[in-house]
Every structure is written in structure tokens, then in C-alpha cells.
Amino acid sequence: MENVRPEKVIEILKAHNVHISLEEAVLILAFMVKFARIAITKIS
């Protein structure tokens, strides 16, 4: 699976009329990774 970069997060959200900074995109990605790890451990 291709890694998602902060720039891609900005692009995706901009398409939905949500404007964020690069720093906010980095925080969103960090949260998503933590959330995914928690979800995987709960499913296993």
C-alpha cells in the first residue's frame, strides 16, 4: 500500500472545502496511524 503524505491529506480535504496547514495534516496522519493500530489490536 502506498504511504499517504501530508500533502495528499491537504489535497483530499481541500477537495471537500476544508483547508488545513501542513502541521495539521501531519497531526491528522499521526492520529490515523494510532487509531489504525488500536483497531487492529482490538480485532486480532
SS3 for 14-32 is HHCCCCCCHHHHHHHHHHH
> Is residue 19 a part of any domain in this protein?
yes
Nearest to 9 by CA among 17, 34, 20, 1: 20
Say what percent of the chain tops pLDDT 70. Answer: 95
1 vs 15: CA distance, rounded Å: 22
Q: Is the pLDDT at 42 greater than 80, yes or no?
A: yes
pLDDT above 80: residue 43:
yes
How many structural domains compose the chain? 1
pLDDT of residue 1: 43
Using the predicted structure, report yes or no on whether residue 35 has a pLDDT greater than 90.
yes
Residue 34 and residue 18: Cα distance in Å, rounded? 22
Tell me if 1 is assigned to some domain. no
The range of the structural domain enclosing residue 17 comes to: 6-43
Q: What pTM does this model have?
A: 0.81
CB-CB contact of 21 with 6 (8 Å): no
Q: What is the pLDDT of residues 12-29, one digit of tens each?
A: 999 999 999 999 999 999
